[in-house]
Structure 1
Amino acid sequence: MEGEVISLAFGGYGVVKKGKDVFFLSGALPDEIVDFSIDFKRKGVNFGVVKKIIKSSEARVKPKCKYFLKCGGCNFQNLNYEQQLIEKEKILKEILKKIGNLEARFEKPIFSKEYGYRKKVQFEINDEGKICFFKRNSNKLIEINECPVLSKPLELFLKRINKNNLKFFDAKNLTLYLSKSIVGRIETTEENLLKFWRNLKKISLKGLWLKPKKGFGKYLIKRNFEKYFLYHSPFSFMQINEEVNKFLIDEILNYLKDYNDLNILDGFAGVGNFSVPLSLKFKNVFAVENSKSNFYLLQRNKEDMKIENLNLINKNFEEVDLKERIDLILVDPPREGLTKGSIEKILSFLPEFLIYISCEPSTFARDLKIIKKFYSIEYIKLVDMFPQTYHTEAVCFLRKL
């Protein structure tokens, strides 16, 4: 079949319409005319593959990775990076309009380098003991020996590790890391863990852990920033794109530059990614974290940094009860977005400022649809944590009506 690609959809697919039928095509770009075939149907939706490009987009570029569109990781290596940002912002705006009936002012996206940004990755192991990723749209594996979105230490590790036979691994819960870079998760026995550790520590492997309190090498990873540091473990959440994360923190600090005397509530604090830098600038920060392991590291970071105005709360955000006036709430929830109780908690405090960081556009739109009854959106920024992929994050700055 032949058709013209009218847009990109969330998921990284080029969209073709023919009559009442809609086709989602891997590797197709807007304004292209392509010859394609249907690959599979899922819940009545047609997914296809491009057989031939009849008219190519001016924004099309040569992919950097030889596994592009074979591996399930990247979606946009064939699209120049400037256009990637434009298309991601378009998709985000469409979702906000469709689900949340929202139109908002967007400012320049937050982004950094196109490749070599990823400092954490999860590998799979095939029956031959080789490192793999999942194939595109499949639970089958594809063996790999390079990945240009990985940081240089990780990609070097990948090239070296495939010279070793890893047949004794099953896959899932082992975390390896080199210095600041987390290498992957795999499952094995303690005996093979020791064997693997002795073999691979020769190539800069700093730690190897099956689970907390069971492993070898360093357990705590210390990340140094300009004015502070954070400890985290191989099992705690940290953004894999450090540079974009720094730019996001800078954006928040710049937004609040005229307000120093603030009481801030961080609803999903983790190990202190936002709480620690905010506490260095503002009157009081209340950091809420439910996970016991994350909370331990949050305490460690507070104590080692000697931050007296960082107040820690080991509860779910929706269970927090404070007597202090809260001027700003910052939320960075998981993909599921905010629970009904979390939104009710925000509205019970009704702070002057609200900052919502999202990693899932649909739940972002759903939540903002409710919140906009009480807050006006000052602006939104696309936050491109994952260049070359369809994954879309955003930060929204709101002020009480």
Structure 2
Amino acid sequence: MNKKYTGKKGTYVQLKIGQEILLTIKRIGINGEGIGYYKRKAVFVPGALPEEVVEVKITKVQSTFAEGRVKKIKQASDLRQAPSCPVYNECGGCQMQHMTYEGQLKAKEDIVRGAFEKYTDIGELPLRPILGMEEPWSYRNKAQLQAGTQGDRIITGLYAADSHQLIDIGDCPIQHPETNEMIAAAREVLELLSIPVYNERKRTGVIRTIIARVGFETGEQQLILVTAEEKLPRKKEIITELRMRLPKLTSINQNINKQKTSLIFGDKTETLWGKETIDESLGDVKFSLSPRAFFQLNPAQTLKLYNSAREAAGLTGEELVVDAYCGVGTISLWLAPDAKRVRGIEVIPEAIEDAKRNAEKSGIANAEFYVGKAEELLPKWVKQGERPDVVVVDPPRVGCDKALLDAVLKAKPKRFVYVSCNPSTLARDVAHLLKEYRLEWVQPVDMFPHTSHVESVASLIYKGSK
């Protein structure tokens, strides 16, 4: 007989590791896994789809939930399809290729809806239909793959989920074809010239990571070799061979990362050949991208995301806009033509310098950029009589700092625009703002088809606005 556990939220059956159960999947979780309930206990099952009946073997047990793997699909969903990628089940880079694209879009809407049900008391969520892609393949402008060896061959890929096994990735179907070509050429050249790959365990070798980026609008190509030491053997020959194989190549760079760390980049970057940056544009806004500069990975969907942010801002040309996590100024510069003034804030000095260059390159004169923390600068400006009409945030996955949210509540901008890459932290932060703000709408955008990630724009209006 299964034992029972009584917790704060009720009584749960105590499953055992290795136990086999029959489960009906109800929905998709935030990481793309199927979720079913066994006698009130949630069971997370990677690879299972809503409405499927599956035999599951339990692999992990916690007090309020369990995890398992599919042993057999007893009743398959109409949404199930064969993945396009030959290494989909091993790679871990995508989580939803086994689901039709229409099914993925619905699942992502449900993920956003579920997050708001968990963190807020909003009854009927004003959720707009998700903005998907007509052609959800070949959309990524940047490939970032670890280097390793397999016998005498150099391989490049991603680590399998929950392991340190490197899965060799060839033509990734969600990557722009040119980034696949650049990675393949770099691997071929390094193998030809016998350049040693870094061995993390022994801490020997040179090449750690290969990064390829392409400008969708400009066609410029940027290649970065991340190395474990400053000396790159046969540097001139590497440059010559790469240029022979990649006639469109614009920039070859070396980033040095000597640390024993999971972080990709080190602090020092050297341009080996070509331009220090590559050019790219979104609409009328132009950007110079240095090797370490952040730029949205899906340009086509970025336009939809930023247009939604512009709609939420409700600009008339008379507003002071504060962009609290401005990065290299992408959203700031997107909004600037419709605002009176835009002030971008970012803690990373290099990003602010990039933002200023991007503004100049785009001929935008009404955007200013400041190094600092928004939770400190925003109250300072309000005290000086510079109260923003609109505040925009695009924070990392952990969401906004509570001090920033409190600063916004004190500043009382008429509109608050939240661009989010994590539905859970979006819903949590919106819940904190609802005491002073009304949620007008939430617009999900599918920035990363075939993965479990979903971006959203939330439009909030100050309750005291006339």
Alignment partner for residue 270 of structure 2, among 214, 220, 223? Answer: 214
Greater Cα shift, 349-358 or 297-306? 297-306
* Maintained 8 Å contact 2:84/2:97: yes
Q: Post-superposition shift, 1:35? A: 2.5
1:192 equivalenced with 2:233 (yes/no): yes
Q: How far apart, in 2, do the equivalents of 1:276 and 1:156 lie?
A: 32
Alignment partner for residue 275 of structure 1, among 312, 326, 332? Answer: 332
Partner of 2:419 in structure 1? 357
Alignment partner for residue 152 of structure 1, among 173, 177, 190? Answer: 177
Q: How far apart, in 2, do the equivalents of 1:172 and 1:352 lie?
A: 48
Cα distance change on mapping 1:94 and 1:151 into 2, 3 Å: same
Q: How far apart, in 2, do the equivalents of 1:316 and 1:174 lie?
A: 33
Partner of 1:5 in structure 2? 25
Q: How far apart, in 2, do the equivalents of 1:102 and 1:160 lie?
A: 52
Q: Deviations over 1:70-111 (max 9, x none)?
A: 111111111111111111111121122212334420112223
* Maintained 8 Å contact 1:119/1:181: no
Question: 1:240 is paired with a residue of what secondary structure?
Answer: coil
Partner of 1:384 in structure 2? 446
Aligned residues: 401
Q: Post-superposition shift, 1:260? A: 2.4
Cα distance change on mapping 1:23 and 1:256 into 2, 3 Å: closer
Question: 1:110 is paired with a residue of what secondary structure?
Answer: coil
Question: 2:94 is paired with a residue of what secondary structure?
Answer: coil
Q: How far apart, in 2, do the equivalents of 1:352 and 1:178 lie?
A: 39
* Maintained 8 Å contact 1:24/1:48: yes
Q: Deviations over 1:333-374 (max 9, x none)?
A: 111211122112212321100000111222212211111111
Q: How far apart, in 2, do the equivalents of 1:117 and 1:125 lie?
A: 23
Q: How far apart, in 2, do the equivalents of 1:150 and 1:42 lie?
A: 37
Greater Cα shift, 332-341 or 302-311? 302-311
1:110 equivalenced with 2:138 (yes/no): no
Partner of 1:348 in structure 2? 410
* Maintained 8 Å contact 2:286/2:361: no
The amino acid of 2:338's aligned partner reads K
Partner of 1:52 in structure 2? 72
Greater Cα shift, 166-175 or 349-358? 166-175
The amino acid of 1:91's aligned partner reads I
Q: How far apart, in 1, do the equivalents of 2:187 and 2:363 lie?
A: 44
Partner of 1:95 in structure 2? 115
Q: Post-superposition shift, 1:236? A: 1.5
Partner of 1:241 in structure 2? 298
Q: How far apart, in 2, do the equivalents of 1:264 and 1:99 lie?
A: 28
The amino acid of 1:200's aligned partner reads L
Alignment partner for residue 78 of structure 1, among 82, 93, 98? Answer: 98
* Maintained 8 Å contact 1:193/1:215: no
Q: Post-superposition shift, 1:137? A: 3.0
The amino acid of 1:335's aligned partner reads R
Q: How far apart, in 1, do the equivalents of 2:428 and 2:120 lie?
A: 5
Partner of 2:201 in structure 1? none
Query: Rg: which structure is higher?
Result: 2
Cα distance change on mapping 1:54 and 1:183 into 2, 3 Å: farther
Partner of 1:396 in structure 2? 458
1:126 equivalenced with 2:148 (yes/no): yes
* Maintained 8 Å contact 1:177/1:208: no
The amino acid of 1:71's aligned partner reads C
* Maintained 8 Å contact 2:45/2:68: yes
Higher relative contact order (CA closer than 8 Å, sequence separation 6+): 1
Q: How far apart, in 1, do the equivalents of 2:225 and 2:447 lie?
A: 21
Q: Post-superposition shift, 1:147? A: 1.1
* Maintained 8 Å contact 2:390/2:416: yes
Partner of 1:203 in structure 2? 245
Question: 2:232 is paired with a residue of what secondary structure?
Answer: helix
Cα distance change on mapping 1:312 and 1:89 into 2, 3 Å: same
Partner of 1:69 in structure 2? 89
TM-score normalised to structure 2 length: 0.80
* Maintained 8 Å contact 1:120/1:184: no
The amino acid of 1:3's aligned partner reads L
1:142 equivalenced with 2:167 (yes/no): yes
Cα distance change on mapping 1:163 and 1:305 into 2, 3 Å: closer
Q: How far apart, in 1, do the equivalents of 2:158 and 2:361 lie?
A: 38
Cα distance change on mapping 1:183 and 1:244 into 2, 3 Å: farther
RMSD of aligned alpha carbons? 2.4
Q: Post-superposition shift, 1:161? A: 4.2
1:23 equivalenced with 2:63 (yes/no): no
Cα distance change on mapping 1:167 and 1:365 into 2, 3 Å: farther
Greater Cα shift, 305-314 or 384-393? 305-314
Partner of 2:284 in structure 1? 227
Q: Deviations over 1:41-70 (max 9, x none)?
A: 579853332233221111112211011121
1:168 equivalenced with 2:161 (yes/no): no
Q: How far apart, in 1, do the equivalents of 2:374 and 2:234 lie?
A: 37
* Maintained 8 Å contact 1:381/1:396: yes
**Gap regions ≥5 residues in structure 2:** 1-19, 199-206, 257-267
TM-score normalised to structure 1 length: 0.92
**Gap regions ≥5 residues in structure 1:** none
Q: How far apart, in 1, do the equivalents of 2:425 and 2:232 lie?
A: 44
The amino acid of 2:174's aligned partner reads V
* Maintained 8 Å contact 1:148/1:155: no
Q: How far apart, in 1, do the equivalents of 2:140 and 2:25 lie?
A: 30
Q: Post-superposition shift, 1:280? A: 1.4
The amino acid of 1:142's aligned partner reads I
Cα distance change on mapping 1:306 and 1:270 into 2, 3 Å: same
Cα distance change on mapping 1:256 and 1:331 into 2, 3 Å: closer
